[in-house]
A and B are shown apart, each in its own frame.
Chain A
Amino acid sequence: MKFWVVLVLSILPMANHGYAEEQITIIERESQMGFWPCSSCHTGNFKGLGDPNNQHQLTFKHMENVNECLFCHSFKNPERLHLEDGTTITFNESYRLCTLCHGEIYREWKVGIHGLQTGYWKGPKTRRNCTQCHNAHAPKFPPMEALPNPVDYPNKPAEGKH
């Protein structure tokens, strides 16, 4: 009897191929933010700052007819965002704010279809917050410099038509 218990207990962990339990980590945003902590400048409540384009030298290209920071930022606490029902959330879970408009993309992100995931296809994954890749104030993915092609083809076509 004892022998069987030992045998079963020793086989059980092998069924998982030795991989860790699937778990998803979302990279924290607050530690990466340029002006963090916000309360070092914005003390108390900060109502009436007005047009987002006047703040932090930012160019606001997200939504038309937005003329107020407090559309997303909490007016009670500058280090928080707020949802449409007044719930305040941290910058680490800003995807909860994004999903109010971009529900479809949020659904894809939640199952791992949208956005970069690193780590293990079978095991712990690291996922990025929306604002890790998209600037919240200008969310279009920015153009970037292409790395040079390492392959130098001997019959590389001349400039123009080949």
Chain B
Amino acid sequence: MSENSNSNNKKIDVLLKEKPLKRRSFLKALATAGAITFFPGKQTKAFAGTFTDKKDRKGPHLTWEKFFQKYYKEMTPEDKKRVFERITRETKEYYGVDITLADPQPIPGVKFVFFLNLSKCNGNRRCVIACQKENNLDRSKAWITVLEMENGGFDFEKSDRHYTGIVPKDGKFYLPVQCLQCDNPPCVKVCPTEATWKEKDGIVVIDYDWCIGCRYCQAACPYEARKFNWKTPEIPQDEINTNQNYLGNRIRPRGTIEKCHFCSHRTRVGRYPACLEACPTGARKFGNILDPESEVSKIFNTKTLFVLKEELNTKPSFFYYFD
């Protein structure tokens, strides 16, 4: 026994003696590599080479300033101002539009909920298009998916999201699904960089500059609410919404996740979301559930509500009802 332990100790001693040598050589190599990477000829396009391998690469360059940007929650007001100026400048350069970028904060004492009356919804997709325009989505993407369901059940396998023509069709009902802003969000738990989090008014937001595009959250979300930017969004210049929120509807860079944020740039200043105002049937209702006088409180007290996939315990803030 003792001989064995002695030999083991010797081995450890040898390893410990060798370590400084290895570490030093490693640091040398690191310094060399760093020098090559960080001091190229043109500093502004230092990391541009990272993405040039693809022909369809578009959008603002990844600059020094952007790469070393702070985490949103650790930003001082000066940092924020600098970051907003950078994004405004880049949007002007790439899209040719002057935007007003801000980050409206949650209103104290407000918890947003969304109610959707499935008896009223007729699946005309006005909300989908309004959302797309309001939130500067690529014109081949949508945050709201309207499922055409068969009457008498909630079998998602029998649902159709490619329906066309005159609606509503016989024997069908329509189920719009978007981000449900869960109170127990699975997407937030899996994010390795904490680029997404839940705010005090119930909205789950994303810091697009902190997102590394790993798509774990997309896999974790049971409602297919999160969408991935495979390319830089292509938006007609005259249709860009210039009222933008840093954590909300600003034009997302390529390689980041995006989703519905209850139109935080509108709702945090008191307005209704864009999908609600576009709905001709009045099926959507939005408001502050903590205010007993609000219409959502009255629906909450009088209607039989349900949520999607309740068994997963995600506690959504988005309720459906029939009446």
Question: Which chain A residues have a beta carbon within 8 Å of chain B's beta carbons?
Answer: 17, 19, 111-123, 128, 133, 141, 143-153, 156-157
Contacts and interface: CB of A to CB of B under 8 A. Distances in A.
Given A17-B107, A121-B270, A147 B125 contact: yes
B129 A147 contact: yes
B125 A121 contact: no
Interface of B: 107, 122-126, 128-129, 132, 139-142, 145-146, 161-168, 267, 270-272, 276-277, 279-282, 285-288, 294-295, 298-299, 302
B162 A157 contact: yes
Given A118-B277, A145-B165, A151-B141, A113 B126 contact: no
Contacts of A145: 124, 165-167
B228 to A, nearest CB: 12
Nearest to A121: B287
A115 B280 CA distance: 9
Contacts of A123: 270
A160 B279 CA distance: 29
A153 B140 CA distance: 10
Given A121-B270, A122-B288, A146-B167, A111 B298 contact: yes
Given A147-B128, A151-B140, A116 B279 contact: yes
Contacts of A116: 276-277, 279-282
Given A121-B287, A123-B270, A150-B128, 8 more contacts: A120-B272, A122-B107, A145-B166, A146-B123, A146-B124, A147-B129, A148-B164, A150-B142
Shortest Cβ-Cβ A-B pairs, 7 listed = A116-B282, A112-B295, A122-B270, A147-B125, A115-B282, A120-B270, A146-B167
B295 A141 contact: no
A118 B107 CA distance: 20
Contact of B271 (A119, A146, A147, A150): A119
A116 B286 CA distance: 11
